[in-house]
Structure 1
């Protein structure tokens, strides 16, 4: 069993752009949620996955990820996840021996830019790039399901200022 250990951050400025080494477009769909976890389907230009994420314990959570046929992912996105879609361009940005990802959201979350980094273990030292802002790892307002709900309630993409001001 694999455990995902990740930290998430706001992005302070666009200095990451000049350091990005790759990018890919992703579409995520929320298949379902349960207390402390979720099931997601993800599609990029070449592959498709289904992922089950369990309850978080500190920074770690169990993660089960399986490649699935592209046609199955497209069907799930269209039939099961139609109101829970996340569109984003994921940029890979190396820094201090680690691979950071910066997600630029589109669709219902257009304009949102967030960063994350996966760690080998919770105590792993981390050197933050200068373009990193406030940490949001434990902030429920920045869960993708919450961001989508806020956008649906607003009837338009939500801004970072609105998310920060949101009361859950």
Structure 2
């Protein structure tokens, strides 16, 4: 088990992605309760991820296991699963890796930025292309985006 500590933001300047190559992801959410169950397919690999309910706005327990791609694709097609597709870009800035997601389908036009941190107290100098903070805000987690779509 690992702790996942991350902050999430809107992307202010999508043009920063010009010329960068990203990785296409399919993410499907299979169950939500005390533990959130997600499968992710990226290129020729797939993972099953379990996430606890939030310990705080930015922190939760996370367990992740690599699984066969065919199994993940089949799980993503199960009745009741909610899926989204996105392209992820990685941008290094002052010792931190920022993950920029460009969403597709019904979420086309949405861009978010996440940064994982070793602790909630870790200071982060945000680049000028990072916008409004979304950490802990209702409707902005990926499961909600997959299930409901654009937040109101």
Tell me the TM-score normalized by structure 1: 0.83
Matches within 5 A, 1:27-46: 27-35=26-34, 37-46=35-44
Runs of at least 4 residues off by over 6 Å: none
Are 2:83 and 2:147, in contact at CA under 8 Å, matched by a contact in 1?
A: no
> Per-residue deviation at 1:149?
3.6
* Structure 1 equivalent of residue 11 of structure 2: 11
Mind listing any 5+ residue stretches in structure 2 that lack a counterpart? none
Q: How many residues align?
A: 151
User: Higher helix fraction: Structure 1 or Structure 2?
Assistant: 1
Secondary structure of 1:16 counterpart: helix
> Per-residue deviation at 1:127?
0.6
Q: Please list the CA deviations of residues 120-151 of structure 1 after superposition, one character each: whole Å capped at 9, or x if unmatched.
A: 11111101010000100010120223223433
Q: In the superposition, relative to structure 1, how do residues 81 and 50 fare at CA in structure 2: closer, same or farther (>3 Å)?
A: farther
Match of 2:85 among 67, 84, 87: 87
Rounded Cα–Cα distance in structure 1 between residues aligned with 2:40 and 2:60: 18
Q: Please list the CA deviations of residues 11-42 of structure 1 after superposition, one character each: whole Å capped at 9, or x if unmatched.
A: 1112532585x51000000010004x410000
Tell me the TM-score normalized by structure 2: 0.91
User: Higher strand fraction: Structure 1 or Structure 2?
Assistant: 2
CA RMSD of aligned residues (A): 1.7
Are 1:108 and 1:148, in contact at CA under 8 Å, matched by a contact in 2?
A: no
Q: Please list the CA deviations of residues 22-76 of structure 1 after superposition, one character each: whole Å capped at 9, or x if unmatched.
A: 51000000010004x4100000102100000002122211000000011101111
> Per-residue deviation at 1:109?
1.3
